[in-house]
Amino acid sequence: MLRIIYMGTPQFAVPALKALINGARPGQVLPEGYDIATVITRPDKPVGRGKGIVFSPIKQTALAHGIPVWQPGSLKRPENIEALAAYQADLFIVAAFGQILPQAVLDLPRYGTLNIHASLLPKYRGVSPISEAILQGETETGVTIMLIDAGVDTGPILLQRAIPIAEDDTTGSLTIKLAELGAGALLVALPLWVQGKIKPQPQNEQLASHTRMLRKEDGEIVWNRPATTLARAVRAFTPWPGAYTYWHNKLLKIVSAYAVASEAGEEAKPGTVGMRKEHGRQVLSVVTAHGLLVVDKLQLEGKKAMSADEFLRGYPQIVGDVLG
């Protein structure tokens, strides 16, 4: 019996857990006899204005399938390491858990700790690989099944799967795709690893790149950047932190937008709002350092999100103003 402990928190980690619970898909074979001893997730936190406690997606999934949940907080504490060792697990599996595991934890399972990382390592190590791939204009990304070592996403690679990034992909939509891709990749890699049929491949450090935790202020649009860069930022920062600017001291969120070339005579100050017709409807166009950012959906502070056409009917005075 292969004893597994699964560690994860957000929605990204759910498909892989469900795949383990439901067993192999056609053509995929899991090790004979395995058991998910417990699911470890981050402690519950109050959410929203009412500060109500909402369980993490992983906790909800585990409880719905009758799997014990453990929320110990930091796994660096000696008492938690001791409690973890008591499970006598053969393998740990990690997906967007949100903690760096100390070596004392990594040394516990005989088959090590597998991680599902949402990039084609060694590119985009760290906490924001999906948004960073969009920001950098990548046309392809993927998932990596790797062995965790003491570094941050530096361990050897067991398996990778790649998918294209669609022109309209946001971090939200791409996360869903990569979560499913990761679940399938895990089901392939897991039995091969346990049976000794995969040789871990070290990462090429010369090709490594890193990401950082996104902050709310990262979403503020700087209009003296190229339109193509800003269009990627809108997609990368959806759903969080959101791409936004200011109009008359009110926050104005750009929900969806795309870049086009400037037309003759459009040499106004970056941030200047214009109006144009696209596909038979009115849209906002904002001057940037190079090209126009065409906004087709936006949300003014205190209002619902609406199409640019609807927004212009309610706020025609925005045309000619400078945002920011």
**In 3-state terms, what secondary structure has residue 190?**
helix
pLDDT (tens digit per residue) in 249-307? 999 999 999 999 987 555 789 999 999 888 888 889 999 999 999 999 999 999 999 99
Percent of the chain whose predicted confidence (pLDDT) is above 70? 95
Contacts of 306 (CB under 8 A, 6+ apart): 297, 298, 299, 314
Overall average pLDDT of the 29-36 stretch: 72
pTM for the full model? 0.94
Q: What is the largest CA-CA distance in the chain?
A: 72
- Reported as a single tens digit per residue, the pLDDT across 39-67 is 999 999 877 777 778 899 999 999 999 99
- Could you name the CATH architecture of 216-318? Roll (3.10)
If we measure between CA atoms, which residue out of 288, 322, 318 comes closest to residue 306?
Answer: 318
pLDDT digits (tens, 9 = 90+) for 106-162: 999 999 999 999 999 999 999 999 999 999 999 999 999 999 999 999 999 999 999
Q: Write down the mean pLDDT value for the chain.
A: 94
Q: What percent of the chain has a predicted confidence (pLDDT) above 90?
A: 87
Average pLDDT over residues 83-91: 97
CATH 3.30.70.20 is right for the domain spanning 2-207: no
> C-alpha angle 7/129/71, rounded to 5°?
20
194 to 29, 111, 144, 173, 316: CA distances (angstroms): 12, 7, 17, 32, 64
* Contact indicator for 94, 8 with CB cutoff of 8 Å: yes
Sorted by where each begins, the domain ranges of the chain are 2-207, 216-318
Name the residue among 24, 33, 15 with its Cα closest to residue 194. Answer: 33
